[in-house]
Amino acid sequence: MIFNSLTFLLFLVVLTALYWCLPRRPRLYTLFFASLLFYGFWRYEFIILLLISIGTDFLASRAIDATTNETRRRAFLILSITINLLLLFVFKYLIFFVDTLNGLGQALGYGPEPAFSVPLHIILPLGISFYTFQSISYTVDVYRRFIKPEPDFILFATYVIFFPQLVAGPILRAKEVIWQLADRPPFDPRVFADGLRRILSGLFLKCILADNIAPLVDRGFAADPATLGALDVLTLSFLFGFQIYFDFAGYSFIAIGIAGLLGIRFPDNFNYPYLSQSPREFWQRWHISLSSWIRDYLYLPLCGVNVHDRSTGGLVVEDGATGTNTRRNRSLWITWSLMGFWHGANWTFVAWGLWHAALITVQRASKRLLPQLKIPPVLAWMMTLPLIMLGWIPFRAETLDQAGAMLMRLLTPQAYVKPDVAHGLLPALLFNLQRDTHYVSALLLLLVVAAWALQRTLQPTLDKYLQARSLADFIFFATAAPLVYVFLRPIQQFIYFQF
């Protein structure tokens, strides 16, 4: 059951009606079992794995809170984190490490036969990286004494497996969500209407934009890199950049909107990231809940300074607040290596993480060496955007060799003068364009900028005048709803489901 399916929409209508009718305890059980049902539609046998992770952290957090002995508290914390990471390792990374060891052995001349093997076929559980991180954050926050452990198992479990954000986030802190699940907020028609608006916006981004860009990207990355011109590579980086943005932002919009239907508020997960004027700013705007999680549970602890206590702000902290430059940079590179590896069991994701580490390191160095340098905002944006987009090449590539070969085309003079293979290789399916997919990328960029500009100019008026808001909502629903209905089909799963 995925968001862009009629089955899910029917499920959501029934659940929302029950949610607003039932009293507290039946309502909690309904959310709990509905979330299990939502997850079980994919593979019901992995519900056991989900409950093992939940039960571990529920018991460990209570044990941490029950003692003042620091050694025992730390032991329970380590036990909880170890079990969660062990489950993540076995199901997500074991095959990768076995293949890597076998490849290394063959490279060292130990024979063509693999030295290690995995006895069973391992399937990656849906959303394991997300609910593992969310569950770990709860135990760590109890250990840090940011929160008290939740004594109600059903309430805690519902927080972890709450179906809107179970599979691909946002990754939320317990103090942001549990109280809203425990005591249902009063029905607010404005919050409900905003939830509907976000759901429709998310479906529009996913079904109409992301899913129609996907064939262009798939065919481009399936091609031999040697046949691509430099413009082809740059175009593909932009096309996939927009595909993953519309796809993942669409998921986040839907998740936040579903929570809104139930009166629950989630923080935003995206804030026009492709309008960033620096790599650091990009990570204040992209996948904000994950980058904030990485900040508070990895980067700042490595820097040896006090952590934040919120799932907003992204992977950015104030200058001068993170120790010496050497320690900050070392922590940055370790963090980004693990950040990349979190996304998938492939060295391509590590390369993507290191790409961003390099960009932020260069930005830090330039700021330190040229403190008086002021780059005009438009120029800073024009310099930042291509660097961010080119980072998507290793993220999308199947292998490091493919990513390296594609990026090398940008350093090959002949690749700039040969005819663009994209004219024949990438027949555009969007807006009936038959050639020149770089124009598709340019059009998508203009649409993003226009959406940002409209929001900046119209939002104050819409917030101030109810009639203007009602008219804008009517125009939006009347335009977007028929398009979503036409394109609503689960032909493409959300990209971040694989993580």
Q: Return the structure tokens found at 251.
A: 């998921």
Encode 163-204 in three state secondary structure: HHHCCCCCCCCHHHHHHHHHCCCCCCHHHHHHHHHHHHHHHH
DSSP letter, residue 307: -
Q: Scanning the structure block, which residue is given the tokens 């509905």?
A: 34
Other residues' Cβ atoms within 10 Å of the Cβ of residue 189? 7
Alpha-carbon distance of 409 to 418, in angstroms, equals 11
CA 290 to chain CA centroid, Å, is 7
Contacts 24+ apart (CB under 8 A), 71-78: 73/143, 74/143, 77/139, 77/140, 77/143
Q: Scanning the structure block, which residue is given the tokens 């489950």?
A: 87
Encode 402-446 in three state secondary structure: HHHHHHHHHHCHHHHCCCCCHHHHCCCCHHHCCCCHHHHHHHHHH
Preceding peptide of 114 cis, ω within 30°: no
Residue 377: helix, strand or coil by DSSP? helix
Sign (positive or negative) of CA dihedral 207, 213, 216, 219: negative
* Residues carrying an active site annotation: 343
**How buried is 31 (Cβ within 10 angstroms: 0-12 exposed, 13-18 middle, 19+ buried)?**
buried
Nearest to 250 by CA among 232, 227, 270, 236: 270
Nearest to 162 by CA among 264, 25, 56: 264
Nearest to 92 by CA among 37, 49, 36: 49
